[in-house]
Amino acid sequence: MASPTTSLLALILFAIATGLPAAHAFAINGQTVLGIQVSGTLACSATGNLPGNGIAGVLASVTCNVNGTPTVLGVATTNLNGVFVALITNLSGLDPNSLSCAIRVNLPILTCSLLPRNGVLQAKVNLKGTVSQATIGLVADATIGPFSIV
């Protein structure tokens, strides 16, 4: 028996329930962000780190630990200078105080003979504590630590 009143009540309860995640919004310095923008450089060196010439056209993926499960949340391709900007737009399950994300680049990279042929270059993602305006809205700025081969 769904009278108009109970239907309305159900609708309101549903709206409240689905609105709850906003209470756990991902915020940087009190500013709610809609994404995380991770930028870094991939260089042609023995480790992928600078100094070295940037490597163009390489896929970098950003993988985060989401409730204990490593999950790919974004990909980007390096530009002519080896710079990539990967955007994470699904922040559900991520906590700014215990962010566990890494940039991963698969080897081999045929355009750089200094790198090993096997393995994965991996670098930790670090929030900078600042925000930027991106096309999707306000995003948290992030950089990467040094690459290591895993």
Ligand X SMILES: *[C@@H]1O[C@H](CO)[C@@H](O)[C@H](O)[C@H]1NC(C)=O
The closest of 75, 102, 107, 99 to 89, measured between CA atoms, is: 75
Closest contact distance (angstroms) between CB of 91 and ligand X is 8
DSSP 18: H
In this complex, which beta carbon is closest to ligand X, that of residue 9 or of residue 27? 27
Element of type H or E holding 54: strand 53-54
* Residue in 7, 31, 81, 92 binding ligand X, rule: CB under 6 A: 92
Complex with ligand X: residue 42 or 88, whichever CB lies closer: 88
Helix (H, G, I), strand (E, B) or coil at 2: coil
Q: Tell me how far, at minimum, the Cβ of 95 lies from ligand X, in Å.
A: 12
State the minimum distance, in angstroms, from the CB of residue 59 to ligand X. Answer: 19
* Residue 57 backbone class (left: φ over 0; alpha: ψ -120 to 50; beta: rest): left
Q: Is residue 66 within the footprint of ligand X (CB under 6 A)?
A: yes
Q: Is 71 in the site for ligand X (CB under 6 A)?
A: yes
- As a whole number of angstroms, the distance between CA 112 and CA 109 comes to 6
From the list 46-54, 77-85, 86-94, 105-113, the region that binds ligand X by CB under 6 A is: 86-94
Per CB under 6 A, 65 contacts ligand X? no
